[in-house]
Structure 1
Amino acid sequence: MAVPSRPAAGTLIICPTSVLRQWAEELKTRVTSSANLSFLVYHGNNRTKDPHELTKYDVVLTTYAIVSMEVPKQPLVGEDDEEKRKHDSPIRHMADKKRKGSPSSSKKCMKNGNETQSALLQSSVRPLARVRWFRVILDEAQSIKNHRTQVARACWGLRAKRRWCLSGTPIQNAVDDLYSYFRFLGYQPYADYGSFCSMIKNTISRNPTNGYKMLQTVLKTIMLRRTKGELKILLLQ
């Protein structure tokens, strides 16, 4: 059974519920009428179930809570997975021993099973995950700083050509907060947790001075910093 392709959509802005209406108001008042920008507030129990409806708007506004409910969670990669594999492997090995049937029939069954599972998964996925976004913007991106949370793993799963993280406090607790942003942005090699630890986290632990210098170099390539004063000037233009 073929899995239907995802329709293309515009920009998805994800923010905390507390600023959702503010975003809508800003789009109304800050964007000139000549831009003819259309937007949809995707929130509440009556939100559309049709992914094609989302493609009709230039901008779709939603919250982290909605994304967490609608988007399949991406698996953890790194230390957590390694620990899980250690516990799972003996059980999996025993199951393999007990499995009967010829190799060819097993492969055929597995193939059919994967196709059915993929089709069922696609049919159960909610609208946000059933479109290909041109751009996904995370406002207050520190909301995904803990890479083990459901909301972080859901945001990673969104399909998008462009990805932005907006935050006034990108690092709140430790340098480990940055990994989730790199994973969301798909910024290799640091989007891989093992590489992130060996190249950034562990380097800082061994030699903080050199480690933070290297981190600054990494961040300069992907980070655009704006002070409040600069933003005021931009808004007045």
Structure 2
Amino acid sequence: MTLAEILASLFPGGHAVAVTDGLVSGDGPFEGGRLRVIGIDGDTPLGVEGALDLAGHVLDAVRAGDRAPILVAVDSDSQRMSRRDELLGLNECLAHLAKALLLADRHGHPTVGLLYGHSAAGAFIATALATRVLAALPGAAPSVMDLPSVARVTKLPLETLQEMAHSTPVFAPGLDNMLAMGAVHAVLDPDTALGPQIRDLIAALPERDERDRLGRERGGRPVAQAVAEVVAGQVRGG
């Protein structure tokens, strides 16, 4: 689905969501209130200005105090790979955006990611993965790092990683693997109105992050939950 089709399905009566230079912002009527929408469209890389702009919209929502849900729609490239952005502190700007979404969640704004295209690396982490739950549409293509990049970092042969990816989802990009790891909570039905599906996701939001549990149950990350619980227990005990 294109962003226009998604918005038409979410807001059949019209909306005030616009796209400027690949950045999505606005809102529309939803369940007797408003659904705020931010995001990235058109496989756009996320740079310093974009991260700060999106974070600003999230913080404006928190200041409004209405606890309106926030949908983060994502079809992005990775973070912008430029020396300029790196020198301006792109890593801090991406972290600022992620923390703004976490702040909104803590202030009662349900945050839902909707991955409908590509996304990778820092842009994926700071947007889609920073929401309470992440949904996707069929055909979405997420990755934290592609296998050639993993090969360069780990110094392992690409062929070895490709073989490992067949049985270990953490080594492989793609929607099926992200679903198995619990990073993607659910895949939505594009042939059914998206509004009720987003409403149901919000109604069933877990009280805490459940990605580890989903990864264990789906077989994508069988030990992550146990390891996280041991670490958390040691921190509390210390």
Q: What's the TM-score, normalizing by structure 1?
A: 0.35
The structure in which a higher percent of residues are helix is 1
Greater RCO between the two (CA within 8 Å, min separation 6)? Answer: 1
Q: What's the TM-score, normalizing by structure 2?
A: 0.35
Q: Which has the larger radius of gyration?
A: 1
